[in-house]
Amino acid sequence: MANLVLLTGCSPGGKKTEGPRTRAEPVVLRLKWLVNVSAAGEIWALKTGIFENQGLKVEIKEGGLEHNAIKDLELGRVQFGVASADQVIRAVEKGAQIVVLAQIFQKNPLKWIYDGSRFHIQLPEDLKGLTVGITYGGNDEAIFRALMAKYGLSKENVRFYAVRQDYTPFWNGDAQLWPVYSNVEGIVLAKKMKEHGRMPMFFDADAFGIHLVANSLITSRRIYDEQPELAQRFTQAVLKGWKQALDAKNERAAADAVHEFDGSVSVELIREQLAATRELVVSGALPIGTIDKAAWRDSEDIMFRQGLIARHVDIAAILK
C-alpha cells in the first residue's frame, strides 16, 4: 500500500512554484482505488506544491475493496476521500454523514471493451445474444442492469460472465464484452488487442442515458461544518491540480509525476491514459469539478430501482 507524502513544494522539474505558507496543516486523502492516472490531479497538486501553497501537508493513501474513504472519514482517519456515487448514496442511506465537494469525473470511465472486428454495437439491442462480463456486486453490475431495464433486455437476451482479476475469459472469448476503466486498463487492453490484430471498441452505457457518477471528492459533514475553510482550500487545490495536470503543456510532466508513483506503467502509456482521462474530466465549458446534480439523481434512482438502497436519499443535501 503506497502512501504518498508531500515532502517538498517542488515541481517535477525541481523548481519551486510559489512560497509555501509557514505552517502546513496535515491532511490525509484516501483514494477510491490504487494510485494511477485517475488520481493525476491529486498527484500533480502534491508534486507541484499546490497543496503546500494552500497550507496543506497532504498524504495520499490508496483505496480498495477493504480501504474505503467513507469508512475512514467516519473513523476520523482521513479528512478527505474519493468515492463514487453508489458508495456515497449507499453510505448516506445508512446514516453516514458525508458531503460531496466536487465531481472529478463528469463521465463515468467504466465501459465495456469488445472486439469491433467481430461485431459492432450501435444500440443496446445489439447486445442480444452476447456474453457480458459483470462484477457481481460492483457498480458495473448496477449500470448494466439499469441499461437492461431501460431497453427491455432480459436474462434470456444477454448472458453474464462473472468478472475476476484477470482478462483470460475475455481473451479466450468466454465473454465478448469486458468491463474496464476506459482511461486506465482500457488503454492497456486496447493496445494489446491491436497488437493481436483485433479492433478494440468500447460500449458506453452513459451514452445511452445510464448515468452513474464516478470519482467525486468527499469529506465528512463534521469537517465541512466545523472547518469550511479547510474543505474549501483542499477542494481548490485538488481542482487546480486537475486543471494543470490535464493542460496539454503539462502533459509530459504530469505523466512523469504519475509514473513516479505508478512505475509499472510507462510514461508513454500514461500520456495516452491522461488524454483519455481529459475527456472524462473536462466537459465543455463547465469548470472542472462541477457537480452534475441530474446525474446524481439518476444514480440514486438506479440504486433505488435495483433495491441497492431501501429508501430514497436526499441528494440535494449531500451535494455542495
Where on the chain is the footprint of other proteins (CB under 8 A)? Answer: 65-66, 68, 70-71, 74-75, 87, 90-91, 93-97, 135-138, 162, 164-166, 168, 308
Closest distance between other proteins and the C-beta of residue 9, in Å? 36
Cβ distance 139 to 112 under 8 Å? no
162 or 207: whose CB is closer to other proteins?
Answer: 162
Three-class SS state of 294? helix
**Cβ distance to other proteins smaller for residue 53 or 139:** 139
- Residue 45 DSSP symbol: H
Shortest reach from residue 98's CB to other proteins, in Å: 9
Of 142 and 237, the one with the shorter C-beta distance to other proteins is: 142
Whichever of 11 and 97 has its CB closer to other proteins, that residue is: 97
CA distance 94 to 92: 5
List CB contacts of 193: < 8 A, sequence separation 6 or more: 113, 115, 199, 200
Question: What gap in Å lies between CA 67 and CA 64, rounded to an integer?
Answer: 5
How far is residue 255 from each of residues 76, 211, 261, 267, measured CA to CA in Å? 32, 29, 10, 6
Quote the CA–CA distance of 214 and 78 in Å, as a whole number: 20
* Minimum distance, C-beta of residue 88 to other proteins, in the bound complex (Å): 10
Query: CB of 187: closest distance to other proteins in angstroms?
Result: 22
C-alpha–C-alpha distance, residues 279 and 255, integer Å = 16
Closest CA to 63 of 72, 52, 50, 75: 72
Cβ atoms within 10 Å, residue 111: 24
Taking the complex as a whole, the smallest distance from the CB of residue 228 to other proteins amounts, in Å, to: 22
- Residue placing its CB nearer to other proteins in the complex, 76 or 209: 76
Closest approach of other proteins to the CB of residue 101, in Å: 19
- Name the phi and psi angles at 308, rounded to 5: -80, -20
Say which residue the cell 493496445 belongs to. Answer: 191
Distances (CA, A) of 226 to 230, 231, 252: 9, 9, 39
Of 92 and 246, nearer to other proteins (C-beta) is 92
How many residues are recorded in the chain? 320
Closest to other proteins by CB, 71 or 198 = 71
Q: Nearest approach, Cβ of 63 to other proteins (angstroms)?
A: 12
- CB 255 → other proteins: shortest distance, Å? 29
Bridge partners for 289 per DSSP: 103
Of the two residues 151 and 161, which places its CB atom closer to other proteins in the complex?
161
